[in-house]
Amino acid sequence: MDFETILLEKENGLATLYLNRPDVLNAIDNKMRLELLKALEDIEADNGIRTLILTGKGAAFCAGGDVRGMGKSERMINPHPIIRKIINLEKPVMAAVNGVAAGAGCSLALSADIIIASSKASFVLSFVRMGLVPDWGGLYFLPRRVAISKAKELMFTANRISSEEAERIGLINKVVPENEFEESVKKIAQQILRGAPIPMGMIKRILNVSQSSEIESVLSLEYQAQTICRGTEDHREGITAFKEKREPRFLGK
């Protein structure tokens, strides 16, 4: 599948989606919005893909919306279908933040299930400096990763923070040295790929609703999911592999 603003690679169950406008720090324009959605639809439909890495080409993860297109007569395409697709994708999504993640780029990173950042990365929710409120789900994701008071501080001040500070406050999962970044991301992705895909999707779906649900609702979802998992070939393979002291070979069935 050919794209102009992104690059999609697939290998051994892993999809890597690159934001690919390095000359403008991967700023998001309407073309990229359309291509991101198309790529995510492709990944969703591909049963051979079990994990997605979202990252950027060049020196940045994403500098946010393309300011050159703002204020023009062309209306910016709503990003919400992209965010919904990432949230509802029943495959783990990892944001590999290789450089600055600003504005919409920061919100996009926050939509991932796991965020790994390079030591040279930084994060800034710069919307108020453009006369805007955070979008791309930023108002939802940030206060679920950090304290509400810290979320307000970051949004009100639009201060840039380092990847080390982002890890300290819980905004990201892990920061790794720049020279170890790609290797570390791939290592974590391989660890995820070792798991059975059916329960992985169920875990993501249930966790997404758990913070706004009562315990009884979550227990019910847990029971339903476990009942389904117990009837899968992958569950039987997991038991067999454990008894035979070998790595399981999960097929998503």
Picking from 114, 106, 110, 93, the residue whose alpha carbon sits closest to that of residue 161 is: 106
CATH number given to 6-193: 3.90.226.10
197-243: in CATH 1.10.12: yes
The DSSP 8-state label assigned to residue 62 in this structure reads B
- pTM, two decimals, is 0.92
CA angle 230, 235, 236 (to 5 degrees): 105
Query: How would you label 147-161 residue by residue, b for 16+ Cβ within 10 Å and e otherwise?
Result: eeebbeebbeebebb
pLDDT computed for residue 66 by the predictor? 82
The DSSP 8-state label assigned to residue 65 in this structure reads B
Ordered by start, the domain boundaries in the chain are 6-193, 197-243
Cα–Cα distance, 198 to 201 (Å, whole number): 5
Q: How long, in residues, is the chain? A: 253
CA angle 118, 183, 124 (to 5 degrees): 15
Give the C-alpha distances (Å, rounded to integers) separating 58 from 40, 62, 97, 188: 21, 10, 11, 21
CA angle 64, 66, 68 (to 5 degrees): 150
pLDDT along the chain (253 residues), means of 10: 92 96 95 96 95 96 82 72 95 97 96 97 94 94 96 97 97 96 95 94 94 92 94 93 92 90
Give the C-alpha distances (Å, rounded to integers) separating 146 from 32, 119, 121, 128, 238: 29, 20, 18, 19, 36
pLDDT computed for residue 67 by the predictor? 76
Give the C-alpha distances (Å, rounded to integers) separating 214 from 41, 142, 217, 224, 228: 31, 22, 5, 16, 22
Contact status, residue 187 vs residue 51, Cβ threshold 8 Å: no
What would the pLDDT profile of 69-105 be if each residue is shown by its tens digit? 665 546 678 899 999 999 999 999 999 999 999 999 9
